[in-house]
Amino acid sequence: MLLLLRKLKKGHLNSAEFRKYLLYALGEMALVVIGILIALQIDNWNTNKQEHEALQGYLHTIARNIDSDLTSISDLRSERIRAYELSLRWTNFYPRNRSYSVPEVMLASDVINESATLRHFNASNSGYEALKSSGVLDEMQGTDIEELLFDYYDTVARIARSEQDHNELTRTLSLQVMYRWPDEVEPWELASASVLTAERFEQSQPVYHEILQGTMMQQLLSRPVSAGPLLRDYDKLDRLGRAFQRLVDTDSVALDDIAISILDGIYDPRSGIGQPNVIVDGQVYWHSYGLVNSDANDPRVSYDAAAAEPEGPFDPDSFQRIGDSLHINYHGGAAWAGIWFGAGTDAADRSTADYSMYSTLLLEIKGDAGGEQIVVNMEDRDDPADGTSTRYPLQLSDQWQTYEIDLTEFETADLRILSIPVGFVFFEEPVSFSVRNARFIKAD
C-alpha cells in the first residue's frame, strides 16, 4: 500500500498499473480485515466455550448439591409422615371414655415424642451461590433450566419459612406441656408403662387422662397433621430437583419428555383439580388428603373412672399402615360409622375439589378373612356429613382384588365439588380389611 502511494506521488503509474496496484492493495486490506474478523470469531468462540464449560461446571455442582438435598428431603419426608400417621391414629381414635391399655399409653408417649421433635431441612446451596456470583448466569436466560433452578430454590426458601413457623409453635407447645405436667406421674411412666405394676398403672389412669386430654397436649399431639402443605412442598422440591438433574445429565437447557413427565406429577391445590392418587402401596397422599372418622355414638370427652362404658367402634390400631397396605379395623357395635378421606389436608373444613375429569375409582382391597361386606361412599359439598349419600357395596375376598367402580354409580355426588372423594361406611357388624391402592382414573 505504501509502495502504491509513493509511485502514485512520483507519477510513475499509468491507469492500468494503478488499477492493478489498487486491487492488490485492497486485497491485502481485505485479508487483514478477514484475519481480524476470524481472530475475533475464534476469540468469541473460545470465550463462549469457556463460559459454557464454566456454566456446565456450576450446573453439575448444583446437580450434586440437589442430589444431597433429595436424599435429605426423602428422609425428612419419611419422618414427618411417620409423625403425621401416629398423630392421626391417636387424635382420631384414642379412647375418650374408658381406661387406657398399656400399649395405648406407650403409643401416646411415641406420639408425644414425634410431635415434639423439631425437624429442619438444610439445603446445599453452595453451587447456586457460586453460579449467581460467577457472571455466567446470563447464559441460561430465558431457558427452561433457568426457570427450573429459580423455582427449585424458591421452594427451598418457602420450606425454610414454613418449617420455622411450624417449629416455633411446636417448641412453644412443648414447653407449656412440660410446665403443666402433673407431679403425680413422671414422663417415663408413659414411655415405660409396661414396667409399672398393675396397681400403679391403674392408679395412674386419671392422671393419664388429665395429661393426654389437656388442651395444650391435644394441640401438641395434633401438630404433625398441620404439616400437609410442607409434605406437598417436599414432593414439589423432589420433582423439580429430578427434572433439573435430567437436563444437566443430557446437557440440555430445554425440557424433554422425561423431564416434562416428572414435572407433571407436581400437585397444585390452587388448580382446583382433585389429586388422582388417594392411596398408593398403602401410603395415603397426606399432602392432598385429610382423614375424618365418626360414628353414631356420642363419646364423652371427660374421663369418669367409675363409669363402665363400652369400648368404641375404633381404637388406635383401627387405622395403620402395615407394609405396603393400609389396614382398617372396625370393631362394630355402632348404628353407623365411617372413615373418610377428604379433599384438602384438613378434611374437617369440607374443602372441595373437581373430579369431573375422572371416570373410574380403582380400589385394590382384601379382607382379613374373606367375605367381608364394606360400603364405599362419596360425598359432595352439599351432602350431609354422615355417609347417607350414595353407597356402593363391595364383598371382599381374602386375596387382593382390584375393583373398578364407574363414578356414575355415585348418583348423589357432584364430581365438580367433591368434599369426600373416598370413604368407607360401616354398620353393626365388625369388619377388618386392607387397602393397597385407591386412585381415580381419567376417561379415555
Considering the domain architecture, whether residues 292 and 188 belong to the same structural domain is answered as no
Lowest mean pLDDT across 90-104, 174-188, 317-331, 419-433: 90-104
Euclidean distance between CA atoms 133 and 156, whole angstroms:
19
> Is residue 419 within 8 Å of 398, Cβ to Cβ?
no
Q: Domain boundary at 266, 296, 327, which?
A: 266
Res 168: pLDDT: 96
Domain membership flag for residue 109: yes
> Which whole-number Å values give the CA distances from 43 to 47, 136, 166, 167, in the listed order?
6, 17, 54, 54
Euclidean distance between CA atoms 213 and 90, whole angstroms:
11
Span 385-389, average pLDDT: 78
Euclidean distance between CA atoms 405 and 392, whole angstroms:
9
Helices and strands, counts by H and E, the chain = 11, 12
Domain membership flag for residue 271: no
Considering the domain architecture, whether residues 219 and 345 belong to the same structural domain is answered as no
Lowest mean pLDDT across 49-63, 100-114, 305-319: 305-319
Q: How far is C-alpha 208 from the chain's CA centre?
A: 34
Say yes or no to pLDDT of 46 above 90. no
Considering the domain architecture, whether residues 261 and 384 belong to the same structural domain is answered as no
Confidence of residue 307 (pLDDT cuts 50, 70, 90): very low
Considering the domain architecture, whether residues 352 and 283 belong to the same structural domain is answered as yes
> Which whole-number Å values give the CA distances from 369 to 290, 323, 429, 433, in the listed order?
28, 18, 14, 8
Domain membership flag for residue 159: yes
Confidence of residue 305 (pLDDT cuts 50, 70, 90): very low
Res 308: pLDDT: 43
Say yes or no to pLDDT of 16 above 90. no
Res 396: pLDDT: 96
Considering the domain architecture, whether residues 146 and 251 belong to the same structural domain is answered as yes
- As a whole number, the mean pLDDT across the chain is 87
Q: What is the domain count for the chain?
A: 2
Res 395: pLDDT: 95
Considering the domain architecture, whether residues 50 and 95 belong to the same structural domain is answered as yes
Euclidean distance between CA atoms 148 and 244, whole angstroms:
6
Considering the domain architecture, whether residues 351 and 288 belong to the same structural domain is answered as yes
Considering the domain architecture, whether residues 363 and 443 belong to the same structural domain is answered as yes
Considering the domain architecture, whether residues 168 and 240 belong to the same structural domain is answered as yes
Q: What is the dihedral of CA 251, 256, 262, 265, to 10 degrees?
A: 150
- Domain, as residue range, for 400: 276-304+311-444
Domain membership flag for residue 72: yes
Say yes or no to pLDDT of 274 above 60. yes
Domain membership flag for residue 203: yes
Buried b (16+ CB within 10 A) or exposed e, 215-241: ebbebbbbbbbbbbebbbbbbbbbbbb
Considering the domain architecture, whether residues 238 and 377 belong to the same structural domain is answered as no
Lowest mean pLDDT across 42-51, 229-238, 272-281, 410-419: 42-51
Res 306: pLDDT: 43
- At residue 432, the 3 state secondary structure works out as strand
Q: Look up residue 54 and give its three cell numbers.
A: 464454566
Res 144: pLDDT: 94
> Which whole-number Å values give the CA distances from 200 to 25, 157, 185, 197, in the listed order?
112, 50, 10, 5
Confidence of residue 19 (pLDDT cuts 50, 70, 90): low
Q: What is the CATH number of the domain that holds 341?
A: 2.60.120.430
- pTM passes above 0.85: no
Give the residue from 295, 296, 311 showing the smallest Cα distance to 98. Answer: 311
Domain membership flag for residue 257: yes
Task: Specify which residues 358 forms β-bridges with.
Answer: 442
Considering the domain architecture, whether residues 33 and 100 belong to the same structural domain is answered as yes
Considering the domain architecture, whether residues 185 and 241 belong to the same structural domain is answered as yes
| Structural element, H or E, at residue 418 | strand 418-426
Q: Look up residue 119 and give its three cell numbers.
A: 425437624
